[in-house]
A = this chain, B = another copy of it.
Amino acid sequence: MHAGTVRHRHDTSAVNPRAAHLSLALRHVAEASGQISRAGIAARTGLNRSTASSLIDELINGGLVKETGATTRNRAGRPGTALALRDDGPAGLGVDVNVDYTAVCVVDLTGAVRYKHVVAEDQRGHTNTGIRHRIATLAHTARTAAATSGLTLSGSAVAVPGIVDRTRATVTLAPNLGWRDLDVTEVLPGDVHGLLDNEANFAALSEATLLHDRASYLYVSGQIGVGAGIVLDGRLYRGTHGWSGEIGHLTVDRDGPACPCGRRGCLERYAGQEAILRAAGVSSDPGTSLGVRPTVALIADRARTGDPATLAALTRAGEVLGATLAGCLNLLDLGHVVLGGIYRDLAPWIAPEVEREVATQFLGAPWARPTVEVAAYGPEAPAIGAARSVIHDILSDPLRWLNR
């Protein structure tokens, strides 16, 4: 009998009680930052007051929590010193190596984006050494910017457009970059190491704190392919091997056009960037300097002028995307969809179609109509999500930072 790879036998939080208690206290501060005292932490965690107080002292001494100087009152009316997350403590560095741009960003413990920089440049003509050099330069500037704000980078995370093996820090396959079984140290400078993940997964996390700390949603990112990030109770669901979210190869029509994956009629043959361009009658020559973003901007321009072929292409893409998303919502029972990547840029034409399909085809719609929202961030979304994942790791296990 065989079952999928098992990632962890027990939650880390359960194995080390001290880490679990510190995390619990820190997450309660995070949820009610500036509005909670030591007594409030004790009440919400169920820990006794002296334990809660000593945990808070440890978090204060470690530079994660501060006393704001303000006073809170508990239900009995007793005053207490308000606690808040520090915004001058640890920070996460996020890096996104994409086909036609590189992005970096810095996020502080409160989840706020403190620095970001996107450089548009096609990576495909560059050697791995050239890519590493560019990342090193960008990371150095980000690190300097963080230090200027009093922040200390506690770790980094790297988004790539492909399938990754997180445990081996290897990019298994990133077809558009020509990477296969690539050890990431070949493209990452020595001071940028950390968790790897697929760009759609990290992009999904960029929405996490904007929604609710424990929200569940499907983030769909339109690119040349169509990827998704599944967030359950505020955490990225990565799957057995870390390959979750391959929504682009759900079947729209078994007798549809052939897909490079070997199947027919996959979603990306209808709603991927190339499919939209083709249906709109716009040529997409990767040899031109047009690049991905300008091409999408061109589509948006044509749609605004009312070009019939473009409008029909977008309507059709939105319909098929919406129907497929409705199927995903039926399978996963998620109540919220976020449209990212090119769907964010093309939202005025895509989003209404998606909303309509989802509202009519989600089986639970009579009881709970799903909501569809446009992503808050554009090309910087994966880098922001990557940086936030570093912060999530500190919130889950503050000892990572305290024992550094």
What number of A residues sit within 8 Å (CB to CB) of B?
77
> Measured between C-beta atoms, what is the minimum distance from A92 to chain B in Å?
23
> Measured between C-beta atoms, what is the minimum distance from A42 to chain B in Å?
12
Is A20 close to B, CB under 8 A? yes
- Cross-interface CB contact of A244 among B7, B46, B333, B371, cutoff 8 Å: B333
Is A16 close to B, CB under 8 A? yes
Q: Whose C-beta in chain B lies nearest to the C-beta of A242?
A: B333
Give bound CA distance, A398 to B17, whole Å.
18
Is A76 close to B, CB under 8 A? no
Contact stretch, chosen from A208-216, A280-288, A380-388 = A208-216
A-B contact pairs, 25 of them (CB 8 A): A3-B336, A3-B371, A4-B215, A6-B216, A13-B14, A15-B45, A15-B46, A216-B239, A228-B331, A232-B237, A239-B332, A240-B334, A243-B364, A244-B333, A246-B330, A246-B363, A249-B327, A249-B330, A250-B330, A251-B251, A251-B323, A251-B324, A261-B363, A262-B360, A263-B323
Is A361 close to B, CB under 8 A? yes
0/1 interface trace, chain A 159-189, chain B, CB 8 Å (1 if under): 0000100000000100000000000000000
Give bound CA distance, A3 to B216, whole Å.
7
Is A336 a contact of B14 with CB atoms below 8 Å?
Answer: no
Chain B residues with CB under 8 A of A17: 17, 21, 46-47
Is B6 a contact of A327 with CB atoms below 8 Å?
Answer: no
Is A24 close to B, CB under 8 A? yes
Give bound CA distance, A327 to B263, whole Å.
10
Question: Closest 4 CB pairs between A and B?
Answer: A239-B333, A4-B335, A3-B215, A246-B330
> Measured between C-beta atoms, what is the minimum distance from A205 to chain B in Å?
14
Q: Whose C-beta in chain B lies nearest to the C-beta of A211?
A: B3
Q: Whose C-beta in chain B lies nearest to the C-beta of A360?
A: B262
Assembly of this chain: how many copies?
2
- Cross-interface CB contact of A241 among B6, B254, B368, cutoff 8 Å: B368
- A1-27 with Cβ < 8 A to chain B: 1-10, 13-17, 20-21, 24, 27
Is A307 close to B, CB under 8 A? no
Is A3 a contact of B217 with CB atoms below 8 Å?
Answer: yes
- Cross-interface CB contact of A332 among B45, B163, B244, B261, cutoff 8 Å: B244
Is A30 close to B, CB under 8 A? no
> Measured between C-beta atoms, what is the minimum distance from A247 to chain B in Å?
6
Indicate whether A364 sits within 8 Å of B163 (C-beta atoms), given known contacts A4-B336, A24-B14, A46-B17: yes
Chain B residues with CB under 8 A of A255: 253
